[in-house]
Every structure is written in C-alpha cells, then in structure tokens.
Amino acid sequence: MRIVAGQYGGRRLDVPKNRDIRPTSDKVRGAIFNALEARGAVDGARVLDCFCGTGALGLEALSRGADFCSFWDNDKTSLALTRANADVLGALGQCEFKLQDANRITKEREGELYTLVFLDPPYRNDLIVPVLKELSENNYLEDGAFCILEIEKDHDPILDGSFEVQSEKIYGDSKVLFVSYTNSGAKNS
C-alpha cells in the first residue's frame, strides 16, 4: 500500500500482517481524494480519521494539503501502526493520535473543529450513525464539513437531518458515501 498523490506520493505504508484491519485500497483512496479535491475539501482541511487502522486516509489527506489530522482508533496496535506510518513520512508534526472509542466521546471538542472526517469502521457493526451522532452532539464538526463514510455496499444508514448524502460510489464490496454536515440540520428536522 502506498500514498497515491501529493507531497508523499508513491511512499509506502506499512500494513498489518493479519486480516484484522481492512485498509482502503490505493485505487479507492485515489478516487475518493479526486472527488474531494474537486470539491475543494482537502487543501487546508482539519481532518479526523476515525477507525484509522493504518492511517492511510488521514495520511493521504496530509499528503494532498490538509493542515492537520487527528487519528482515532480503539486498538493500540492500529494506533501504533498509524504513528509509525506518519513517522516514516515525516508527518508527525501535523498529527495527533488518540486511543478513542468513537462511539463513546466523553467531552465536547475544544479548539478548531474538523472540516473533513473519514469513517471506515469494521463492517457489519452499524457504527456509522452512532458515531456521526456523537461527533455532532459533542461539537466536533464545522458547519459544512464533509464526512466520507466507507461501508458495506448493501448497507444504507439512516442519517439525521444534519447529514446529507451528496453522492455515493460502489467499489467491489464497499460503498463510499460523500456526506455534508449542516450544524442547523438537526434543529430543523
């Protein structure tokens, strides 16, 4: 696996030897970022990579001009792998690493809000809707933020009025939803 484009383009990332982590393929990551760049969503972004696994999505964002990325995972091995990948790229100064269950955010966000969020949880666990609710209710998302949801292709999460699906793409067994967040959406629905 490698970084597809940007300042770290072509650089290799370590992946786990086992099948516990399902990294987003280079091809799918490239397609996701081409769509995001067309929307102007990457350059200068403050990124959250939930369920980070190898860190490939957040590191690709940094490679393509994002300012900062917070990597969350509730598995110490995944977080260590992500940190090692960021270190090899020389990107540690733009990163934070948090051992965090995204389903259980305990306090409201302080400081700058996230403008780009990647949610690529383990399949068949129905984590997308509860995590989006936690991020919204605890003030982690800037109004207009993009959320990229990678889920199994036959799953259609029911999102609340704060989240609007802009587009969706199918890649093999995966579906990628491009979702925009509106801070006032929940209040009006």
155, pLDDT greater than 50: yes
- Any residues with CB less than 8 A from the CB of 125 and at least 6 apart, and which? none
Mean pLDDT of the chain: 90
For residues 91-108, one letter each, b for 16 or more C-beta atoms within 10 angstroms of the residue's C-beta and e for the rest, the string is beebbebeebebeebeee
- Residues 19-65: tens digit of each pLDDT: 566 677 788 899 999 999 999 999 999 999 999 999 999 999 999 99
Least confident of 65-69, 94-98, 107-111: 107-111
CA atoms lying within 13 Å on the CB side of residue 134 = 16
CA atoms lying within 13 Å on the CB side of residue 103 = 11
Confidence grade of residue 172 (pLDDT, cut at 50, 70, 90): confident
Q: Which residue matches tokens 């959406």?
A: 185
Pair 82, 97: CB distance under 8 Å? yes
At 12, is the secondary structure helix, strand, or coil?
strand
What pLDDT shows up at residue 18? 63
Rounded to whole angstroms, the Cα distance separating 32 from 85 reads 20
Strand partners, 141: 114
Six token digits for residue 98: 């948090």
104, pLDDT greater than 50: yes
What does the angle CA 153 – CA 20 – CA 37 come to, to the nearest 5 degrees?
50
Domains of the chain, first to last: 26-188 (3.40.50.150)
